[in-house]
A and B are shown apart, each in its own frame.
Chain A
Amino acid sequence: GENVEQHPSTLSVQEGDSAVIKCTYSDSASNYFPWYKQELGKRPQLIIDIRSNVGEKKDQRIAVTLNKTAKHFSLHITETQPEDSAVYFCAARLHGSSNTGKLIFGQGTTLQVKP
Chain B
Amino acid sequence: GAGVSQSPSNKVTEKGKDVELRCDPISGHTALYWYRQSLGQGLEFLIYFQGNSAPDKSGLPSDRFSAERTGGSVSTLTIQRTQQEDSAVYLCASSLVGELFFGEGSRLTVL
Contacts and interface: CB of A to CB of B under 8 A. Distances in A.
B45 A103 contact: yes
A89 B51 CA distance: 26
Interface stretch (B17-25, B64-72, B78-86, B94-102): B94-102
A96 B30 CA distance: 13
B39 to A, nearest CB: 12
A107 B97 CA distance: 24
A107 to B, nearest CB: 4
Contacts of B35: 105
Interface bin, chain A: 20 to 34
A53 interface: no
A104 interface: yes
B58 A1 contact: yes
B30 to A, nearest CB: 7
Contact of B51 (A34, A45, A98, A106): A98
Interface of A: 1, 6, 32, 34, 36, 43-46, 49, 89, 96, 98-108
Given A44-B43, A98-B50, A103-B45, 6 more contacts: A43-B105, A46-B100, A98-B31, A100-B98, A102-B45, A103-B33
